[in-house]
Amino acid sequence: MSILICGSRQLDLSSTQVMGILNVTPDSFSDGGNLYSNASLSLDKALYQARQMVTEGASIIDIGGESTRPGAEPVSVQEEMDRVLPVLERINAEVDAVISIDTSTPELIREAARLGAGMINDVRALGREGALEAAVAAGLPVCLMHMQGSPATMQRAPSYSDVVAEVIDFLRQQLDRCVEAGLERSQLIIDPGFGFGKTLEHNLLLLNEMQQLLSLGVPVLSGTSRKSMIGNLLGREPDERLAGGLATVVLAVERGARIIRVHDVAATVDAVRMTEAVMGQSQ
Cβ distance 103 to 134 under 8 Å? no
Q: Which residues contact 119 (CB under 8 A, 6 or more apart)?
A: 4, 6, 11, 60, 98, 99, 100, 101, 140, 141, 142, 143
CA distance 266 to 98: 17
Residue 100, phi then psi, degrees to nearest 5: -100, 140
- The DSSP call for residue 140 is -
Three-state SS string over 151-190 comes to: CCCCCCCCCCCCHHHHHHHHHHHHHHHHHHHCCCHHHEEE
Phi-psi region of 87 (alpha: psi -120 to 50; beta: other; left: phi over 0): alpha
HSE-CB for 240 with a 13 A CA cutoff? 7
- Respond yes or no: is residue 226 known to be catalytic: no
* Active-site hit among 83, 198, 227, 258: 227
Residue 22 β-bridge partners: 63
Helix (H) or strand (E) holding 90: helix 77-94
Query: Among 247, 208, 209, 212, which residue's Cα sits nearest to residue 227?
Result: 247
Task: Please tell me the distance from the alpha carbon of residue 141 to that of residue 120, in angstroms, as a whole number.
Answer: 6
- Helix/strand/coil for 50: helix
In 3-state terms, what secondary structure has residue 221?
strand
Set 198, 241, 258, 261: catalytic member? 261
Task: Indicate if 273 belongs to the active site.
Answer: no
Per the DSSP assignment, residues forming a β-bridge with 20 are: 61, 262
User: Any idea which residues carry the catalytic annotation?
Assistant: 227, 261
